Copies of this chain bind each other. A is one copy, B any other.
Amino acid sequence: MQFPQEHELQQAAERIAPYVRRTPLLFSAELNKVTGLDLRFKPENLQHCGAFKFRGACNAVFGLDEETAKRGVTTHSSGNHAAALALAAQMRGIDANIVMPDNAPEVKQRRVRNAGANIHHCVPTLQAREDGVARLVEDLGAHVVHPYDDERIICGQSTALREALQDDDVFNHVIAPVGGGGLLSGTALSLRADGRTARLWGAEPTGADDALRSLRAGHIIPSVKPDTIADGLLTSLGELTWPIIQHNVDDIYTVDDADIVRAMRLLWQYLNIIVEPSGAVSLAVALKQAEQLRSKRILIVISGGNVDLDTAFDLFRRYD
């Protein structure tokens, strides 16, 4: 199997550069002192739409030929991919039709609406979501953009680490969260294309540890009834993301919901940024594996920040 090559990663970086925000590399001297670790953060919660997903969506949308683009794009998503695709489509001036389950968080529905997309509600089953997309393809000829199992998406997501590597060249360790694997596989490609020997870890909630189990088993083990507050990491690995992860990720570590909320609170307190539960999983892993990480410089990829504030306050209270 042929993984995306350096020139494809570079093409993605150039294509999306006019549209994405180049997020800064952050650190807190105080958090480093408190944790005893040398942590750097790539805060994709500060990306447009509040998540790294906008990178992949831009790469897909701006890579379409005119003929395809004018029929618009579609996807099903309960989360950040929906808003990202909607905003990328709006920036290109084409339609976006998004199938969202009824129970999608209100904050995420609002972002889709405000980016000018049409929301098509469905019951929250994978079948209903896929049926919804199939109807939009048939009725409108809309082009489907999968949230992660798509080379254009993987290449788009790779640009976050690409920027971080340009900003700081002494990482010994990179930790990124894994749900469907778009961010982790893109991160892996950028890290290896750069020739770095840095170790790469995936970070996963204990209640949705299908990537860890897949890595141990040597084949994809789908996520069944995942149970975690990290609602961005519930999905299973894809056919394209899995082999990239299998060949390039050194290990995957899990953390439970209490660890995640503790890491979330540290990010809010010390970096003055709002991070959603899924976005705090990498830091939670670093804290849990601290002994292995002493005297290493660690890059923590923060995936997103789209959490309803009242929900976040409840989490802080519940896990205090």
Contacts and interface: CB of A to CB of B under 8 A. Distances in A.
A272 B50 contact: yes
A11 interface: no
A305 B28 CA distance: 13
Interface stretch (A18-26, A241-249, A289-297): A18-26
Nearest to A51: B272
A197 to B, nearest CB: 28
Contacts of A309: 265, 268-269, 316
A273 interface: yes
Number of copies: 2
A272 B305 contact: yes
Contacts of A21: 24, 26
Contacts of A114: 29-30, 33-34
Nearest to A313: B313
Contacts of A50: 272
A30 B306 CA distance: 13
A87 interface: yes
Contacts of A275: 272
Contact of A272 (B26, B90, B274, B313): B274
Given A24-B21, A309-B265, A316-B309, A272 B30 contact: no
Contacts of A26: 21, 46
A45 interface: yes
A271 B46 CA distance: 7
A26 B21 CA distance: 8
Given A21-B24, A23-B24, A29 B273 contact: no
Contact of A115 (B29, B46, B115): B29
A42 interface: no
A117 B46 CA distance: 32
A115 B306 contact: no
A110 B268 CA distance: 15
A46 B24 contact: yes
Interface in A248-292: 265, 268-269, 271-275
Nearest to A316: B309
A121 to B, nearest CB: 20
A216 to B, nearest CB: 34
A40 interface: no
A272 B50 CA distance: 7
Given A23-B24, A24-B21, A272 B45 contact: yes
Interface in A119-166: none
Shortest 3 CB-CB distances between A and B: which pairs? Answer: A272-B305, A272-B274, A30-B114
Interface of A: 21-24, 26, 28-30, 33-34, 45-46, 48, 50, 87, 90, 107, 110-111, 114-115, 265, 268-269, 271-275, 305-306, 309, 313, 316
13 contacts: A22-B24, A28-B48, A29-B48, A30-B110, A30-B111, A34-B114, A46-B271, A46-B273, A265-B309, A272-B306, A273-B273, A313-B313, A313-B316
